Chain A
């Protein structure tokens, strides 16, 4: 058995078998094309838990997150913990559900013109804001115009850059005209823009609004203490019907172990940011007290390599590092096996876009040495390779205090040394690393980042283009730039998928960064919470459905 530390409980065994099977098949490269199906199987929790009883009204649902909720503005909130609150307070025109399906929200239906330039949304009638005023097309227009303006300081304005005009022929119709076709419009723009009430926002201004917000969501704000907790209460007139639970509270607990304790002692019903992997696995095994959803993270766990670095700019060196890198062992040693081997830049949970036929890098130190020799790096007397009097050395800067990932760098250091590559380690805060990679003062790093997949859309507008703001590896590939542009403008999903599959093949071959794995993402609920979805490809989006759940008496 590769997987140690598994308690032999019966319910647990089923869980493990599915997982081990999946892991082994992925690791061996077999059955990789069907990994999507396997993942959805893995994501479904034990049937026993989904037995439904009659919904009960009342009670307080407590979530614990790791970071403060810095703003309640739908135009500025980023990160899991703030978004958890956003899901409850607001609605967009459409929504992407926990299985990456686009669902109607404030818009009942929509039409896309054949040229992909006009989007017409029919709004639901009788939707009320928390202050009792009806939501109309004017509010939609106002929201897009306000947060779409860069001067608002919103973080979502870039998503509206393609909007040429917004028309409101009647209170329940909104027509968006785009300057160029944008295949991401529904999943990204129409989903991420949460509608705010024009009459109120205009009156109080953004500064007040972001502390005293009003939306159409199932819960309304009760009390907000950014670093302590956010407390919401049920909105009686919510358009989907009043939620079952009365109070929804998210507390901020930075310590992972303390979040786990809160969960264990029943003081929390869910964790909006997971604890350590060991705690996750422990909770997942305890099917009696917890309901666990396991999905695959969209962010790839990777070592960005600065492609501008004189040594790392050589593709053969980067490929050699992939061969010298025993990634399956890393998955076992650091993630307890709870991760999927990365094949390129997209997570296999993105079934529609995932490409399985890519260059694979099975652990092969001999091949690594061969590539390094070919690149002119010969073994020095001290065990470090050299070329023209230069040592094969670079520094990997990990995030300060990153207990979860730092061991990976320590393991990789040893494996690279075995083939004559000297990787030094240092630490810095994440912001320093990002700036350093951009300014070429940092050679390599280690963190998880999304290279496409947000809301189930494969576009990667900031990480893969050569001029992307978050292109941490300074990866520049003309074909990828072209493919990204084509993919963004292609409305037909089948043809679109082809572009992104080619990108994955190029990334796999070029190795702009060392892609390691996609973490299993655990969303764990106390078993007293009922009415949860049956399965989820995007575990965090279960939190969009909290208006459906209830607390068992």
Chain B
């Protein structure tokens, strides 16, 4: 187990390095000059000396490889530099201010989704073709088909404007979390319930379950002793790779609901060529995903004893 863990960690670091290089290159390829944004639209005299001084301040005058190494060097010490656009603010602070919003949003959504979808998927899978199954299948099919930002806008119109039960935007109070969490959770719930149900049906049709049943095991024992643990396998995979997807979802949802999270920060910085911030966020997100993937694989391995992870014979 220890060796496996170390190997996976090493692989994770490789992935992160690869991503840092790709991100750095892609961000620099976005055409444009951030200095234009700093100077704004005002019709006031701008001197060349002024433009050069600004470029120098941000190291934009140095060769790309040097900028990359400087950035990587700083990053190793946990320093993401300072934002070009938000002039005085360290990127670390910007990220730390945005992370709690995104984290809470996603954890709440994922938590609700898991809490609802897994039991619901199990019941529906076990009682196939019952009214509950139809309800869940219908609901989750619809949930998957709804574009999340469209759902968000419709909810804003209904609950924020027509009924005025909830704040339509922002995070001035905890109620501000309700609509975005509902939107994100809906999507996750639909996906997870569908996968859980599918996995249950698949397992329950396996011959060994039939064998177990013929041996006189109780339904309950079959369900929780064999079916559910095996059916969780694909669900764990799905949850694992949904993490990255979930983070993508927040980019849109945060901008619909005007939430000051990581997603909106990323969107803003990509469009405003705030290199330092865009790079830093992609790095933080990818490290997070790498860690989650690692955990997923470990869980996967723990749940499915069929996989002999170290003894890859061929």
Contact = CB atoms under 8 A, between A and B. Distances in A.
Interface in B35-51: 36-47, 49-51
Contacts of B265: 227
Contact of A431 (B36, B49, B97): B36
* In the complex, the 6 A-B pairs of residues with the closest C-beta atoms, listed nearest first: A431-B32, A78-B40, A432-B31, A70-B86, A210-B88, A158-B45
A429 to B, nearest CB: 5
Interface stretch (B119-127, B168-176, B229-237): B168-176
A261 B156 contact: yes
Given A70-B85, A73-B87, A207-B88, A431 B43 contact: no
Contact of A206 (B43, B54, B88): B88
B158 interface: no
Interface string A423-444: 0000011111111100000000
Contact of B38 (A78, A253, A400, A430): A78
Contact of A262 (B52, B53, B169): B169
B244 interface: no
B51 A469 contact: yes
Given A150-B53, A225-B97, A429-B30, A254 B41 contact: no
Interface in B204-259: 255-258
Given A76-B38, A429-B30, A454-B43, 9 more contacts: A76-B87, A154-B50, A155-B54, A157-B47, A227-B265, A254-B264, A431-B33, A454-B44, A462-B44
A461 interface: yes
Interface string A53-96: 00000000000000010110100101100000000000000000
Interface of B: 30-34, 36-47, 49-54, 57, 83, 85-89, 94, 97-98, 153, 156, 160-161, 164, 167-171, 255-258, 260, 264-265, 268, 271-273
Nearest to B37: A431
A431 B88 contact: no
A399 B158 CA distance: 31
A29 interface: no
B258 A258 contact: yes
A460 interface: yes
Contacts, number: 167
Contacts of B260: 225, 227-228, 252
Contact of A161 (B47, B94, B156, B170): B47
Nearest to A433: B32
A11 B4 CA distance: 76
Interface in A432-490: 432-436, 449-454, 459-463, 469-470
Interface in A240-262: 251-255, 257-258, 261-262
A389 to B, nearest CB: 31
A299 B273 CA distance: 24
Contacts of A454: 42-44
A261 B264 contact: no
B87 to A, nearest CB: 5
A393 interface: no
A161 B41 CA distance: 19
A153 interface: yes
B258 A71 contact: no
A432 B42 contact: no
Given A70-B83, A253-B169, A153 B41 contact: no
B276 to A, nearest CB: 13
A436 B87 contact: no
B38 A158 contact: no
A461 B161 contact: no
16 contacts: A71-B88, A73-B87, A78-B39, A79-B41, A150-B50, A155-B46, A206-B88, A225-B260, A227-B94, A252-B258, A255-B258, A258-B168, A264-B161, A429-B30, A461-B45, A462-B43
B53 to A, nearest CB: 4
Nearest to B42: A454
A71 B86 contact: yes
A430 B39 CA distance: 13
Contacts of B50: 150, 154-155, 157-158
Contact of B160 (A261, A450, A461, A462): A261
Nearest to B87: A71
Nearest to B83: A70
A365 to B, nearest CB: 33
Nearest to B167: A267
Contact of B40 (A79, A258, A459): A79
A26 interface: no
A78, A155, A188, A450 — which one has the most chain B CB atoms within 10 A of its CB? A155
Contacts of A470: 46
Contact of A452 (B43, B153, B268): B43
A227 B161 contact: no
A211 B88 contact: yes
A152 B52 CA distance: 11
Contacts of B36: 431, 434-435
A253 B258 contact: yes
B44 A188 contact: yes
Contacts of A451: 43
B88 A434 contact: no
A265 interface: yes
A406 B167 CA distance: 31
Contacts of B45: 158-159, 161, 188, 461-462
A435 B47 contact: no
Contacts of A206: 88
Interface string A248-291: 00011111011001101101000000000000000000000000
Nearest to A205: B88
A292 B211 CA distance: 77
B125 to A, nearest CB: 40
